[in-house]
Chains A and B, each alone.
Chain A
Amino acid sequence: MAGNVDALYIFLLIVTGLMTLLVFTAVIYFAARYRTQKGIRAEQIEGSTPLEITWSVIPFFVFMVIFLWGAVVYFRGRTPPRDSTEVYVVAKQWMWKLEHAEGQREINELHVPVGRDVKLIMTSQDVIHSFFVPAFRMKQDVVPGRYTMAWFRATKPGTYHLFCAEYCGTQHSGMIGSIVVMEPAQYEAWMSGGSTGPLSASGEKIFAELGCVTCHRSDTQGRGPNLQGIFGKPVLLEDGRTVTADENYVRESILDPGAKIVSGFKPVMPTFQGLVSEEQLNALVAYVKSLSKPGEAGPKTAAVPQTAPDANKAKGSQVE
């Protein structure tokens, strides 16, 4: 990703450098050449429509090239590849909380393997923050009340700065951390310690505890829609619209169930606003997602690796 951005950046440096050179040279040359001299008067020139058209149209086409190139780079940077590793990010004043889909939790530090696509599913507990890794040329605001996404693929092991780039209050400049990029083997070793079991498993537990399972049954008899296999699929709504069941849809359906009623169902679900934390929401989303993963399609019967007693001690960092 950094390479793509830098290539465009260099292209722009060259183009704008040439434009600057052109203007500056002309200004300096004219200013020196036509310096006022006794007896020589300025020559009045009204203007020239062909010239005006030339210096409007040529820049316009240059701008369009920049626009298209910039758009392509942006599009790529915004579209996470299909089978990325997922990391859930919860930002708060003034700390980054990260949870791997596999269950590892970290604070202000994110360990990732080299060469793997990592998708970040981010939200904020309070104000707007922004997840910024300059080395990856990647930045995405983290907004309360919704998920925003970003992704990257690290290509070189090392430790890179993570900054909060959206002003968020007193310790804004202290809301920093690092991305630790590891060789795959090292990363596997790191991953093997301190997990609480996959995030989707915690999600399944919460799903049961909150009683979701009584309505969202895995057959067609429930009062709520069956959630098997819906993730990532289009959903027909009562008002005739169709939406894609993505992370934000699942999130909204939990917090504001009346917003989008699935066709054939009644708006009977109560809101869970204020009853679930951002972390629990993430787990629920991960669980719903897992119901659509091949091989995990069937309803799992509580056969989840039990939470270890020292579960909250994530490797290499502390959990609040």
Chain B
Amino acid sequence: MVTATAQPVERENYLNKHYGVGSWLLTTDHKRIALLYLASITFFFFIGGFFALLIRLELLTPAGDLVQADTYNKLFTMHGMVMVFFFLIPSIPAVLGNFLVPMMIGAKDLAFPRINLLSWYLYVIGGVMMLHCMLTGGVDTGWTFYAPFSTAYTNTKIVEAGLAIFVAGFSSILTGLNFVVTIHRMRAPGMTWSRLPLFIWAHYATSIIQILGTPVVAITIVLVAAERTLHLGIFDPKLGGDPLLFQHLFWFYSHPAVYIMILPSMGVVSEVIACFSRKRIFGYSFVALSSIAIAVFGFLVWAHHMFVAGISVYAALIFSLLSYSVAVPSAVKVFNWTATLYKGSIHYEAPMLYAFGFLGLFTIGGLTGLFLAALGINVHVTDTYFVVAHFHYIMVGGALMGYLGGMHFWWPKISGKLYPEGWARLAALIVFIGFNLTFFPQFILGYLGMPRRYYDYSHMPEFQVLNVLSTAGATILGVGYLLPMIYFLWSMRYGKPAPDNPWNAAGLEWQTASPPTTFNFEQEPVVTWEAYNYEEIDSVEKPEVHVVG
């Protein structure tokens, strides 16, 4: 994707130091690996998005008329698998985290640069396996792989898709491991835990989940493959297995996986809000610790996906109660971000617009989680469009808004170029409007009773109006996602060169060149200030923050 177009007068940096395909494919530079990830996850994002578009088009009319039932089932399955495992989980950690974690703590690279490259290769191998699987027939179980459907009743490519996720999972584990070791061992002198940017705290919490959770889904996949190929009785009652065991194992990872997606996004939002309010984040330590709390409590709530699955009433009570325990640290974060704005000096650059968008969508997504955690209501709305809307508000509204906000915020650092600010603000607005139009009607659809994963609703024509609204929203949303890709690519060639610190932001990454040199810092920085020292930064007479574009 990045071709490092030759620019003769440029300073030496990580992009122009070496040329050629080999210098990219064998790089151990965390920044180049971040860009490799950027190109690969963008590719998968548009594949997953294409599936989403077909799903929405099919649902435009009640009858199943665009594709066959089996095709539709494969579309939502592949949409989920691609988006979850090949886009959302790697998105912020593998791109922005990879790029920024070492720089933010004043390190030259991650602790294990070669393992970092290995992570990317594992991701690519997993991705190629997934592509091969899709091109040769695909899978139709839903991304949730529920047994015994997946182990005995479908003849699609379960084992191959499972292996693809299995391999990609190791990429995720290794990235998490790399971050944890790096954050523990590679901080610059003076960069104490209490001075870490909240982005780092969020990635630390995320890494814990990646390391502890991912092996469980890997084991689960192996068990599915074993039952499918060797007919060991694990999940299928006909063989003496227990189908609920599958759900416990699957959600033990897949619920915390939601926090793998949302926590890094929260980290981005903390950085962006601090910078564009010119303030230290209100309640720094509470925001930092709430990330850890979310990671820990996140492991204790998995069975709230199973309230109608046949678990005991008492288990359901406990898991409902624990689910509310995750809601508290999430609410604390929202309140602290809001309080940060108070008496700030607020700028409206595109990254901040995305952060506002995040606040809005995450608040709605989080509060509808309260509905789902309430047992009596869960029974009615689980497995309906209410759930679909809820998790898209969190995983797309929250995680993707954060990702885009972060991409805009750090793009000048990553590429050394400024993106066109006007277009970026427009795109932020389009995404926000398109997103709400797509998913808000689905809350209503869900409460009215429309089940998810239905390709044909011709017996319930009353659901059509809301589905049409949703499809209309999806097309707007699609435009909103295409725009940034176009102008980012455009800016790499035609954008104005970025200054080292275009936002006048705090954080060590902004003290490097734009784009940084291969080893980030000329000499190892020594940190003598707290995070978000905007007071000091703004008291030094400097030109006003650039209004870019």
Contacts and interface: CB of A to CB of B under 8 A. Distances in A.
Contact of B317 (A36, A71, A138, A169): A71
Given A47-B285, A169-B149, A172-B453, A144 B341 contact: no
A173 B73 CA distance: 10
A20 B379 contact: no
A12 B243 contact: no
B451 A36 contact: no
Contacts of B70: 170
A126 B153 contact: yes
A166 B383 contact: yes
B344 A9 contact: no
A250 to B, nearest CB: 16
A82 interface: no
A302 interface: no
Contacts of A36: 278, 345-347
Nearest to A126: B153
B283 A47 contact: yes
B457 A173 contact: yes
B544 to A, nearest CB: 8
B524 interface: no
Interface string B343-357: 111111000000010
B377 A145 contact: no
B493 interface: no
A130 B280 CA distance: 50
Contacts of B310: 140-141, 143, 146, 148
A173 B360 contact: no
Contacts of B301: none
A30 B346 contact: yes
A272 to B, nearest CB: 14
A59 B451 contact: no
Interface stretch (B9-17, B40-48, B106-114, B140-148): B140-148
A69 B371 CA distance: 11
A173 B454 CA distance: 5
Contact of A63 (B334, B347, B370, B456): B370
- Most chain B beta-carbon contacts within 10 A, residue among A37, A63, A137: A63
A41 B454 CA distance: 54
B309 A163 contact: no
A174 B456 contact: yes
Contacts of B494: none
Nearest to A143: B310
Interface string B445-471: 001110111111101100000000000
Contact of B73 (A27, A35, A170): A170
Contacts of A74: 307, 313, 316-317, 320, 375-376, 378-379
Interface of B: 64, 69-70, 73, 140-142, 144, 146, 148-149, 152-154, 236-238, 242-244, 277-280, 282-286, 307-310, 313, 316-317, 320-321, 324, 327-328, 331-332, 334-336, 338-339, 341-348, 356, 359-360, 363-364, 367-368, 370-371, 373-380, 382-384, 447-449, 451-457, 459-460, 534-535, 538-539
8 contacts: A26-B338, A35-B348, A36-B278, A55-B335, A73-B377, A74-B375, A77-B376, A172-B73
Given A47-B286, A67-B373, 8 more contacts: A9-B371, A20-B363, A41-B539, A74-B307, A128-B149, A132-B451, A138-B379, A163-B451
